[in-house]
């Protein structure tokens, strides 16, 4: 029978290096395969097409955003114009109401003065009649 001989450190190192070299060669051979190159080119074409579609979508989104902003600006201008018109009408109405109130107050004061003057005249007339004795 043969005796079991354990490998020493030098042999283990050489065996490990040989295994690593074999794995590296296997990997290099796999990367040199023409199928991998065609798949890489296919993936590259797909990525380029995807980037192109994304750029197109981005451009469409940007155009839609600009249209939306223009529409919002137009609507904001219309709303501002409407608000200005409403405010102007409210001011005009307030001026008219103030003028009406002033006219009504003036008429009330004139009516009150007329009543007061009539009472005064009635008292004077009553006093005069009392003096004359009628």
CA distance 4 to 2: 7
The predicted pLDDT at position 2 comes to 60
Residue 132 corresponds to which tokens in the numbers above?
A: 């004359």
Residue 8 above 90 pLDDT? no
42-99 residue pLDDT tens: 999 999 999 999 999 999 999 999 999 999 999 999 999 999 999 999 999 999 999 9
Q: How far apart are CA 26 and CA 28, in angstroms?
A: 6
Question: Tell me, what's the pLDDT at 18?
Answer: 94
Give the pLDDT confidence score for residue 4 in this predicted structure.
64
CA 24 to chain centroid: 57
Q: Assess whether pLDDT exceeds 60 at residue 1.
A: no
4, part of any domain: no
State pTM to two decimals.
0.46
112, part of any domain: yes
Q: Is residue 30 a contact partner of residue 36, using CB atoms and an 8 Å limit?
A: yes
Residue 63 lies in a domain: yes
Contacts (Cβ under 8 Å, ≥6 apart) of 7: 15
Judge whether residue 10 has pLDDT over 60: yes
Please write the tens of the pLDDT for every residue from 23-46: 999 888 877 778 888 888 999 999
Q: What is the pLDDT of residue 6?
A: 74
Q: CB–CB of 15/7 below 8 Å?
A: yes
Letter string b/e over residues 60-76, b meaning 16 or more CB atoms within 10 A of that residue's CB: eeeeeeeeeeeeeeeee
With beta carbons less than 8 A apart as the criterion, state whether 12 and 4 touch. no
Domain count, the chain: 1
Q: Structural domain of residue 86, as residue ranges?
A: 9-132
Does the residue 95 lie in any domain?
A: yes
């Amino acid at each position: 029978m043969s005796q079991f001989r354990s490998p020493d450190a030098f042999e283990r190192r050489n065996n490990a290096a040989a295994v690593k070299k074999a794995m590296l060669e296997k990997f290099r051979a796999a990367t040199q395969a023409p199928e991998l190159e065609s798949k890489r080119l296919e993936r590259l074409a797909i990525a380029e097409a995807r980037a192109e579609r994304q750029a197109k979508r981005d451009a469409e989104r940007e155009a839609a955003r600009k249209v939306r902003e223009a529409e919002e600006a137009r609507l904001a201008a219309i709303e501002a114009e409407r608000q200005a018109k409403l405010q102007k009408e409210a001011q005009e109405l307030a001026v008219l109401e103030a003028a009406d109130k002033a006219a009504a107050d003036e008429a009330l004061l004139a009516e009150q003065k007329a009543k007061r003057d009539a009472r005064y005249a009635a008292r004077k007339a009553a006093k005069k009649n009392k003096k004359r004795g009628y």
